[in-house]
A and B are shown apart, each in its own frame.
Chain A
Amino acid sequence: MTKSDEVFFFKFRDTDFLLDSFSQMFWFLEKNYTISEDSSENISSIISFENLIKEYNNIYHQGIKNRIRYLQKFNFFVKKKQEPHLNNNKSALIDCIVINPSTTCNSDCWYCYVNHLRKNNSRELSTDQIKGLIEKVVEANIKLGCDKQICFSYGYTSEITLNFDQFLEVNTFIENIQKEKNIQISFFPSSTNLLQPTADFIDFMNSYGYLTVSLDYENLIKNKKVVKNLELLDDSVVKHCYIPINSETKDYYSIYVECLKHFDLSSLRPVRIPKDAKYPWTQDNLNLVEKELSKLILTLLELAEKNLLEFLESLGSSDYFGRYLEKILTREKHLTRCPAGRTAVAIDWNGNYYPCSGLIGIEDFKLGSIQESNLENISRKSVQENVDKIETCSKCGIKYYCGGPCLDWQVKEGGNALKDVNSIECKMNHIYFRVTAYFVYKTIENYPGLLKKFLEKKKKRFRLNYALNWENFVSFFT
């Protein structure tokens, strides 16, 4: 078995799993193969099967090992050559730009990533500068024959409702360019705190049809105002709430349920915050995340089929559990974490380019500026590497689910985003993977067609279309 490092083992509750990291296929093991209670207490992560054997070698593991060897004849658990079209391209054209014209906000959220930059900042990007930037991006894409849609989004470092006139002016400008150049351009508004929505904002959202509200769940006073302001919107508008969760957040299911009283979709997501934040992540409190996430999935597993499907369909696009659920069901391969710095950049109120809005103000990540450089030739020094090329990640069982480190989170943890990858964020991802994999296994056991139906409604391909039971899978191939 030494020819492969693609065999991983993980455990959740009373169930052991095997994972083929390359194909992203996983199987649950029969009880017979479960290692003893004593020895399994220390296994709270995803470890290579080779390491498990070294530590807990017994007759059961030898049996699994022999079966793995057999399946390797069919190329399971064997690293294959990456198909060329999956290789990362550092020179890919930038076609997604987040425009952050100001830092103006009417709130002071503990998780805001520009609070420290907001103080004493009076700079703003003018509408003319934004229009000039958009023209340049569009021209560059046309010149290079790019037929993909170009995406602009607006206002991630400020409260969009306070600067909505500018958004509308830019929106009209983009609509005109679209007609003139006959190309596809999207322009997305950022999330809002919905504390002071203007009439223009409400009108726009009623026609746009999709609103994301960023909500500090603990701040109930603000939330009452938000709930009241939601009434200003038409029923036809899809209302999505985004809730950053921290180490103190408890009872995730109740939060979802409460949000869904007012919203159509909800997203809970561990927030990327520095060590000196109000509720910092630590190695110790990650256990609480696992406990809370476990509570959530155990509650979900008790729901009736119809209610469970409804719940899953109410997960918003940023929901971390929902994302892992989709990743596990689709077996989509993520070779990089996100497009930051590769095909996407953020621009700040000074006209500087950064890989993403969370990295604004950090000199090492500055890629250039609209005054100095064209978008085609900005520096790509901090573009994320292909996950296979990052030493620590290359040996990780869930590398293709995660795609590598989030630059923003690594920096906030105080590490070197491009080198040190053994972080709280990694452990968080391992927790989400293990717990979600268990949820998937149990749900398929309880309601066989539910997850396929859930995914196909999203027009995604269900790829757990094999026997998840290890014994059955092996028997089929023998």
Chain B
Amino acid sequence: MNNSAEKKLALTHLWVAFGAFGLAAVMGLYQVIERSGFFGFLESRAVYYASVSTHGVLMGFVLTTFFIMGFGYYTATSSLKMPVWNLSFAWVGFGVSLSGVVMAALPLLGGAASVLFTFYPPMQAHPLFYIGATLLVVGSWFWCVSMIVMYTQWKNANPGIAVPLAMFATTANAILWLWTSVGVAVEVLFQLIPWSLGWIDSIDPGLARTLFAWTLHPIVYFWLIPTYTAFYCLVPKQAGGFLFSDEMARAAFILLVVFSLPIGFHHLYMDPEQGHGWKILHAVGTFVVTLPTFITGFTVIASLEIAGRLNGGKGLFGWIAALPWTNPMVLAIILGLLMLIFGGFGGLVNASYAMNAMVHNTAWVSGHFHLIFGGTTVIMYFGVAYYLWPILSGKPLFCKAMAVKQLWTWFIGMIIMTTPWHILGLLGQPRRIDSVNYNNLLTLSWEPYEVTMMFGGAILLYSSALLLINLYKTQMGTEAYQGEIEYAEPIHAPDDLPEYLNSFKLWNIVIAVFMLIAFGYPILQFFLMETFGSGRWGV
């Protein structure tokens, strides 16, 4: 099948993603240096918050959304062996998202949207920021529609046959994103945009935070599912083996979609607008969502074990050494899983209702987030990029050794940066501050960790440069490369798959019920209780 148009579509999305990543990486190093307080001439609160807001938006929304869309389009066309449905529609979605990014970038870079990537009110940004962010999301809905249409078309043309796992996972992510983005869309459309335009005088921050909590946790899984898709569908083949279980992979994706949605209140444990009972309900759900993570850990490690043993590895752990550590995709998953272990532990502390009070709004949270997102999720984006770039560009990878070096430096830099970040949180350093204007024994005790973090940040920027140079040189190469994506085969083909592992109809109903239980009254209460001045929607 000639899918050069789809390759161009995917590669364009991926270039936007990694372009945003490169810019954000430079800002990251500036921020870690600025907030250390060691370089007085760099200190500027206005620049710091403009930078940290832009860094968060670029990494959290632009890198991820464009990567997910680009990877998704190519996964859809290559796994289903059919062209992308309505290519023009896909390009329109790309244009809408990109125009949103440009629109949001103007106030961000000008310091008129220094509201961090969570844009919690009462901090207010320029209307262009909210409108731009909305367009980014609306553009991504085009992608969701494309994925669901292609999934449905294939399923109708192949009744009773299991949808290829990679497409099942991609469709799961599209459905997850549609559910996920409802919360923030309602917040932005009915609260933030009218408020920032001056149409209304006030809004209820409690309602805004509740709606954002709807989005804030599942968005992490929206970012993570492409990583898991690569874990299940690409890595086993690259490692020289097979997928341990197709069914367990599907179960994990379904559990991720269902249970990542009704649990967002663990971000609001310290907030007054929601009662303890609702928070505990969400806390229980937060621990449930560790189940698909453990299923994924088991299934992908078992797949790696099979590959290692097929490669000649012996003994209980001898297969680990027999894995192809110089394959970027395999190295990325090994390092990603290591960071997932440390980051996962941090997440358990965050999710623990009592212990959360110890780390809430401290530097620990930023450290955890960077380790999980910048570590596990993004390192696999790199692994996928190294694998896909030659396929999409038709040029061989410029330098495999550079890719391996980049992955190692990313891992080392991330560990060096996030370990002291966690410790700083335990030492009481608040997150989201640019500096402290006082000196005492407590703040002095932070200094060695601040210095260490700067080294970590510098290594990460170096690693980012290696990635971008490698991708650029690959694109500019003169040699030709002909290859197509190779999906991992499961040990046992999913021939007799029950419909609930091949369809999302049942799960959408389950999600609707869960969301009604988890968010129904917590949102409704804002329209029932006296709020002393703050209008619900601001009217």
Do A and B assemble together? no
B residues apposed to A, CB below 8 Å: none
A residues apposed to B, CB below 8 Å: none
